Amino acid sequence: MSKYRISLIIVIIVAAVAGILYLLYSTKKETVQPATTLKSNNIDLKKDTVTSVEPAAEQTAPIYLKISSFQSYPSIAAMNEVEKTIRQQLPLLNITQRYLLLEQWEKALTPMINRLAPEQQQILAIYKSFTNTSYLAGESSEAYSKRINTALPAKLNPAQKILFQQLTARQIEITEAEEQEPAFELKPAYWKNLFASRLTAGDQYYWNQQTIENNAVIDYDAGLAVDRVTLGEWASSWESYLKKYPEGHYQKEAEEKYRNYMSYLLVGLENTPTLNLETYKIEPDVIKDFETIIKRHPNSTVANSITSFRKTIQDAEGKINIAPKLYELANTLTSEAPFIKKISVKP
């Protein structure tokens, strides 16, 4: 056998051995990699309800592209595309990513609510032409909204009516704050329907309560547009949230709501005052509301605050004019609640 043939055989044998070694190495690597990936995924799923991890670009990128497109060209169709992508991707995100996504979509969507279709401005103009858009005597904000949104479609042409129905189906309604032009507003039920089921139990409670309140107008024409008993119910709900979920994602928002509702409940407003300005005694109808709240929520912080508030006013009768100090008194009682962070509160 020639030297040339011997060399050729050696080269072939070496190449074959190298090929076998490469295949063995590749197989080993492929069989380990899925296990490593699975372990990593399991860790992330466990962290979902415990702690936060950095957003994964491959999971969130499709959503943020849709949001960016919506911001450039806002429309109901673009809004639908964002919602569809959110529903698809939300279960794949960890809990921190979900809250971040909710926040980002809220920031992007809220400013565009009145720019989803040109006909929205036509609908608002028709709304403003109503001769009776003010609150009726004793009408709650919920009853007001229902009355207006029921009457409005009869004034719209077919195209406007379809748009109005599309907006209403997406929890977008016309609201009218005092001394402000009517505008479309996104209701809390939108966020509850899109996100709440994928949040923690405490923050599902938060969005349920937000939906019940429905961004109600409380201060209208210098009077309470929501009765005291209802305010007591809402304050009690936020008390429950703050007690049960002290580390809730929306703790600050819940504290602010509790403070505001207690202030309205205890002090009232100019046209719905707690005190009779001639006798400096609590109005009889207010006493009745206070007693109803205490009966419904005995031993609650809300009930105890009402009791302390009444006692302080009674003790001051014939001694000092306590009327100018009611807000200070209400703020003090609210700040003393065990579930409220101890911060300075201006009267």
- pLDDT confidence band for 13 (50 / 70 / 90): low
- pLDDT confidence band for 16 (50 / 70 / 90): low
pLDDT recorded at residue 61:
87
Average pLDDT over residues 307-313: 96
Tokens of 342: 């101890």
User: Comparing 11-15, 173-177, 217-221, 250-254, which segment has the lowest mean pLDDT?
Assistant: 11-15
Average pLDDT over residues 225-241: 97
> Chain-wide mean pLDDT for the chain?
83
Answer whether residue 54 shows pLDDT above 50. no
pLDDT recorded at residue 37:
32
Dihedral sign computed on CA atoms, order 341, 342, 343, 347: positive
Average pLDDT over residues 20-31: 42
pLDDT recorded at residue 53:
34
Average pLDDT over residues 119-148: 79
Of residues 73 and 60, more confidence is placed in 73
Of residues 1 and 283, more confidence is placed in 283
Answer whether residue 57 shows pLDDT above 70. no
Answer whether residue 146 shows pLDDT above 50. yes
The model scores a pTM over 0.85: no
pLDDT recorded at residue 345:
41
Answer whether residue 84 shows pLDDT above 50. yes
Average pLDDT over residues 217-244: 94
Q: Are the CB atoms for 82 and 66 separated by under 8 Å?
A: yes
- pLDDT confidence band for 136 (50 / 70 / 90): confident
Answer whether residue 251 shows pLDDT above 50. yes
The span from the CA of 82 to the CA of 84, in Å, is 5
pLDDT recorded at residue 15:
52
- pLDDT confidence band for 10 (50 / 70 / 90): low
Average pLDDT over residues 160-166: 95
Question: How many other β-carbons are positioned within 10 Å of the β-carbon of residue 258?
Answer: 24
Average pLDDT over residues 227-249: 97
Tokens of 258: 């509790």
Kindly state the percentage of the chain with pLDDT values over 70. 80
User: Comparing 68-82, 109-123, 177-191, 259-273, which segment has the lowest mean pLDDT?
Assistant: 177-191
The span from the CA of 7 to the CA of 9, in Å, is 5
Answer whether residue 43 shows pLDDT above 80. no
The span from the CA of 174 to the CA of 78, in Å, is 21
- pLDDT confidence band for 143 (50 / 70 / 90): confident
